Structure 1
Amino acid sequence: MIRIELDEASLGATRIAISPLWDAFCSLHLALPHRTPSWPYEEWAGRAREVLRDDERTRPLRLLTHGPHGFPDFLLPRPAGASSVDAELDIVRATPADVVRAGVREHYAEMEDHPFVRPYVDDPEAACATLAEAYAAYWEGALEQHWPTMRRLVEDEVLVRARTFATEGVDALFAGLESRASWKPPVLELTKHIEADYRAGERRLLLIPLVFAEGCRLYSTDDPEVLAVSFQARGAAALRDRSAGPGAACGDRLGLLLGRGRASVLRQLGGPLTTAGLADRLGLAPSTVSEHLSVLADAGVVTRHRVGRSVYYQLTDTGRSLLALLAGEDVLRAVS
C-alpha cells in the first residue's frame, strides 16, 4: 500500500494532465507474456506483443518492465503540458547527464553493470536517445492508430474530473477516482504490492488519467515540484475488436424497453460524455449516437450542457433510477 499525505497547499494546487507516454509505459506491462488482459485489451495485447517481439528497436524498453518496482523519473518524465508523444520523447532525449546518473545511483545501485543499465552510466545522452527511439518504435507499432480514440477518452476524463473538483471539492474528486485508490483525509492510499509512505510537502499533486492503467498504476516521487499519480480513465471498451465481445443478455429488460442501442448509450453515461466519446466507447457512428441521445433527452433521462465548443450529456435522476430498476446497476450515486 502506498500512502501519500497531502496538505492544504498541495490539494489546492491539484492539477489533471494528459500523457501519452505514461499510457505507453503502462501498456507495456499489460502486453507482458504472463499477463491476461481483460476483454477490451485482448486483441490489442496480441498485436503489441508482436511489436515487442519482432521490432529490435524496442529492446531498451525491457528495462522498464523487468527492473525493480521503482525506477528513476527520467525513464518516464512527468507531463509538462504537452499532449503529444513526440514532445514527451524530446524531454527524454534532453535529460541532463547528471540527472540520469543520479537516478541510476538511487534506483539501480546494485544493477549498474546490468546490460540494460550500464549505457545510462557510460553515455547518458546516447542511452536516453536510444530509449526515446525505442518508445517511438513501440508507439508507432502498438498505439499510434489508437491515439485519436485514447485522446478523446482522457480529455473527457480531464473535463469531468476538473468539473467535479471545481464544483464539489477534493473529497468528491478522490471519492470517484477508482477502485484501487481510496481517500482517507489527509491521506491518499494506492493499492500496490509495496509499502511506502510519502508527504507531498511543498509539491503539488498531478493526476494523470490513463486508458492502459490496467497494466500498472504509476506514481512519481523524485520530482521536487510535483507528486504525480495515475488512475484509470473510463471507456477502455473503445479499444475492443468491434466484431467480438460479450453479446446482449437475454434478460436485458432495459434493452427490451428502449432498444439495445439506446440502452447501451444510457449505460455508458456514468459521467458527462460527448457524442464522439460515446461513439468511441460503443463502436457506433456518431450520427447514430446523436439520434439516441436526442430521444433520451426528450424522454428526460439524460440532460445536455455545453462546455466551450463541446456538448456533454449525462444522466438525470430519472435516468439513474431507470438503470437501477431495470438493469440492476447501482448508479444512483454516479459521479456527475
Structure 2
Amino acid sequence: MIRLHLDNESLRSIRLALSPLWETLGSLALFARYRGAVPSPYASWMHYARRSVQPEVMGPLLDLTRRQEAAFLKRAYAYIPDPSRTTLSAELNFLRQDGNTPGEEQLVDLLEQYWHGAIGPYWNSIRTSLEEEVLFRARTLAVGGPEAMLAELGGRVHWQRPTLTAPYHLDLTRSVARAQLVLIPSVFSGGTRMFTVNEPTIAMSYQARASGFLPLVADTKSDEESKDRLALLIGTGRARIMRALEMPKTTTAVAQSLGLAKSTVSQHLAVLTSAELVWRQRLGGRVFYQLDHSGFALLEQLGD
C-alpha cells in the first residue's frame, strides 16, 4: 500500500500527464502476471498481441520484466513522465541520454518492436481515451479543486485529507511537502501500478475511468496489414523496409522514413540481403541498399 501525506503546497501543484512508456511497461506486466487467460477488458488485446509480437522479442522482454535486473528497465521504471515527451520514441531517447551499453541498446530495440506489434495498432484508441481522461480530471481540478479531483479518482485510490492511499506491491508511507505530484492515467493499470520519486517530483499511475470497459480496437491500418500477403510471409517490419527500397537508400534514410530504430532496420536489412532480396553497395563512406531482381519480383507478386 502507498500512503502519501500531502501538504497544502503539494496539493496545489498536482498535474496530470500521459506516458506511452508507462503504458508499454504496464502492458508487459500483464503478460508477466498472466500466462494464460487475462481479465476483461484485456483479453482480445492480449490475443492479438501474442500473435503480433515475435517470440524472440516477447521472450527476452518478459524475462527481464520478471527479474527487473536490467539497468535500462530500472531507469524506465524510475522515469518521470513529462508533457513535452508525448511519444514512446521521445521518452526512450530521453532515457538514452544517460548512455547505454550495447546490451541496453538492444533492449531499447526490443521495446520498440514490442510497441509496434502490441501497442501501436491500438494507440489511437488508447490515446483518445487517456486524453479525455485528462480533460475530465483537469475540469474537476479547475472547478472543484485538487481534493475533489483526488476523491473521484477511483480504481481503489482513496483520498482522506491529508492522505492519498493506493494499492501497491510494497508498503510505502511518505510525507510529501513542497513537492509536485504527477498523476498518470493508465489503460494498462491492471498490469502494475507505476510509482517513482525524483525529488521534488513524485509520479504515480492510476486506472483511467475507461479502463474497465474500453474496447481496445485496432486501427484500420492494422486490419489492412493483416491482409498483407508480403507481411504474412516475411513479417511486417521487413515488408515495410522492402517497400521503402524501390530506390536506393542508406540505413539511416530507411529508419527515418519508417520511424524505426536504426539498429532494427540494420537487422532486417541483414536478413533481406542474405536472402538476396536486397543488394548492398558501398559508395564512398556510405552504404546503400535497394531491392534486387528477386526482391522486385516478390514485391510485384505479393506487395499490393
**Paired position in structure 2 for 1:79:** 81
Matching of residues 27-176 of structure 1 within 5 Å: 27-32=27-32, 33-34=34-35, 36-51=37-52, 54-56=55-57, 59-60=60-61, 62-67=63-68, 72-75=74-77, 77-81=79-83, 82-95=85-98, 124-176=100-152
Deviation of residue 218 (structure 1)?
1.2
For residues 195 and 226 of structure 1, the distance between their equivalents in structure 2, rounded to whole angstroms, comes to: 19
Q: Name the CA shift for 1:183/1:149 in 2 (closer, same or farther; >3 Å).
A: same
User: Are the counterparts in 2 of residues 10 and 204 from structure 1 also a CA contact under 8 Å?
Assistant: yes
Q: Name the CA shift for 1:22/1:13 in 2 (closer, same or farther; >3 Å).
A: same
2:232 paired with 1:230: no
Deviation of residue 58 (structure 1)?
6.3
Q: Name the CA shift for 1:35/1:76 in 2 (closer, same or farther; >3 Å).
A: farther
**Paired position in structure 2 for 1:186:** 162
% identical equivalent positions: 31
Q: Name the CA shift for 1:94/1:239 in 2 (closer, same or farther; >3 Å).
A: farther
For residues 6 and 39 of structure 2, the distance between their equivalents in structure 1, rounded to whole angstroms, comes to: 33
For residues 164 and 173 of structure 1, the distance between their equivalents in structure 2, rounded to whole angstroms, comes to: 6
* Pairwise CA RMSD: 2.4
Helix, strand or coil: the match of 2:204?
Answer: strand
> Scaled by the length of structure 2, what TM-score is found?
0.63
Helix, strand or coil: the match of 2:164?
Answer: strand
2:48 paired with 1:18: no
Unaligned residue ranges in structure 2 (runs of 5+): 219-304
CA displacement, residues 39-70 of structure 1 (integer Å, 9 cap, x when unaligned) = 221011123334556133762453223338xx
Q: Name the CA shift for 1:76/1:220 in 2 (closer, same or farther; >3 Å).
A: closer
Q: Name the CA shift for 1:45/1:57 in 2 (closer, same or farther; >3 Å).
A: closer
Which stretches of structure 1, 4 residues or more, deviate above 4 A after TM superposition?
A: 50-53
For residues 52 and 209 of structure 1, the distance between their equivalents in structure 2, rounded to whole angstroms, comes to: 25
CA displacement, residues 70-109 of structure 1 (integer Å, 9 cap, x when unaligned) = x74444521122111111111121125xxxxxxxxxxxxx
Helix, strand or coil: the match of 1:229?
Answer: strand
**Paired position in structure 1 for 2:8:** 8
For residues 36 and 205 of structure 2, the distance between their equivalents in structure 1, rounded to whole angstroms, comes to: 20
Helix, strand or coil: the match of 1:40?
Answer: coil
Matched AA of 1:78 = I
User: Are the counterparts in 1 of residues 182 and 203 from structure 2 also a CA contact under 8 Å?
Assistant: yes
User: Are the counterparts in 2 of residues 3 and 196 from structure 1 also a CA contact under 8 Å?
Assistant: yes
> Scaled by the length of structure 1, what TM-score is found?
0.58
| Greater RCO structure (CA 8 Å; 6+ sep) | 2
Matched AA of 1:196 = L
User: Are the counterparts in 2 of residues 3 and 187 from structure 1 also a CA contact under 8 Å?
Assistant: yes
Matched AA of 2:57 = E
Q: Name the CA shift for 1:128/1:67 in 2 (closer, same or farther; >3 Å).
A: closer
Deviation of residue 125 (structure 1)?
3.7
Matching of residues 198-217 of structure 1 within 5 Å: 198-217=174-193
Deviation of residue 35 (structure 1)?
6.0
For residues 171 and 213 of structure 1, the distance between their equivalents in structure 2, rounded to whole angstroms, comes to: 22
| The 10-residue stretch of structure 1 (13-22 or 187-196) with the greater mean CA deviation from structure 2 | 187-196
For residues 136 and 142 of structure 2, the distance between their equivalents in structure 1, rounded to whole angstroms, comes to: 10
Matched AA of 2:31 = A
For residues 179 and 48 of structure 1, the distance between their equivalents in structure 2, rounded to whole angstroms, comes to: 25
Q: Name the CA shift for 1:36/1:170 in 2 (closer, same or farther; >3 Å).
A: farther
For residues 239 and 126 of structure 1, the distance between their equivalents in structure 2, rounded to whole angstroms, comes to: 38
For residues 89 and 67 of structure 2, the distance between their equivalents in structure 1, rounded to whole angstroms, comes to: 25
Matched AA of 1:218 = M
Q: Name the CA shift for 1:39/1:61 in 2 (closer, same or farther; >3 Å).
A: closer
Matched AA of 1:225 = P
Helix, strand or coil: the match of 1:235?
Answer: helix
Helix, strand or coil: the match of 1:150?
Answer: helix
Q: How many residues align?
A: 212
Unaligned residue ranges in structure 1 (runs of 5+): 97-123, 243-336
For residues 2 and 173 of structure 2, the distance between their equivalents in structure 1, rounded to whole angstroms, comes to: 6
User: Are the counterparts in 2 of residues 89 and 132 from structure 1 also a CA contact under 8 Å?
Assistant: yes
